[in-house]
Amino acid sequence: MLVQGVFQGLRLFQGCAMEEVRRLTLGARQVTHQHKELLFEHGQPVDSFAIVLQGCYKLYFPRPKAVLLGFALKDDPIGLHMMTLKDGTFPMAVQSLGVSQVVNIPKATFVKHWLASPDMAFRVHTAIARRCLDLEADRGLQAFPLERRLAGFLLRCFEQYGDGDTRTLRFPLSRREIGEAVGAQEESVIRVMSRWEKAGVISTRAQRIQIMRPDWLARVD
């Protein structure tokens, strides 16, 4: 039931035969997290990686000052880049935003079966490259004024994680977390986004941001 109902619906396993999926997921377990619950702690020994089944997780450096690295939604792997390190620990923390669910796959299964498959190795490389490109895009905004950084961050979130019908992000996001993403104080983010709300550019309800005027944000410089 777990293999058929969960794994074969994931992008990483598309096109894989049932027997191959069984090998690639030996020892896997499904885990549900409540809002703000940690999936992986900073410094935790690496003994598994995860694939998101539903909801959203944020990846961040917790100290000395929190820095948001990105988000992981359905189909996204978390911790894949650590699987080939012999005695590695997680360099970041991973926390649920809202009620979310992952499947955890043991590192031993990755080493024994994933690395033996050229096709899976290619898929893993592609997934890691996509995450690196997202991080590079966020860091590329750091040289710009705050309003430009905020607009660029919200637009990328909208394009990647937004509901096209409602123009609403699919996970809750606080002003503090946005500040972590763009390298700004929470108070500064609140001031700018309050102006944008009054102007009808964005709307926020229960920490879920709705982009009313993406065209306006695209013109911010």
pLDDT confidence of 1, banded at 50, 70, 90? Answer: very low
CA distance 60 to 92: 6
Q: What digits encode the pLDDT tens for the residues 15-49?
A: 888 888 999 999 999 999 999 999 999 999 999 99
Q: Which CATH architecture has domain 2-140?
A: Sandwich (2.60)
The residue ranges of every structural domain in the chain are: 2-140, 146-218
> Which residues lie closer than 8 Å to 50 by C-beta, 6 or more apart?
31, 39, 40, 77, 78, 79, 94, 102, 103, 104, 105
Residue 178 confidence (pLDDT) above 60: yes
How high does pLDDT run on average in the chain? 88
Q: What digits encode the pLDDT tens for the residues 139-160?
A: 777 778 999 999 999 998 888 8
Token pair 């894949």 is at which residue?
Answer: 80
Q: What digits encode the pLDDT tens for the residues 85-100?
A: 888 899 999 999 989 9
Preceding amide of 172 cis, omega within 30: no
Q: What pLDDT is attached to residue 3?
A: 47
- The CATH number for 146-218, chosen from 3.40.50.410, 3.90.580.10, 1.10.1040.10, 1.10.10.10, is 1.10.10.10
pTM for the complete prediction? 0.80
Q: What pLDDT is attached to residue 27?
A: 94
Closest CA to 173 of 56, 41, 50: 56
Q: What digits encode the pLDDT tens for the residues 93-139?
A: 999 998 999 999 999 999 999 989 889 888 888 888 887 787 777 67
CA distance 151 to 161: 15
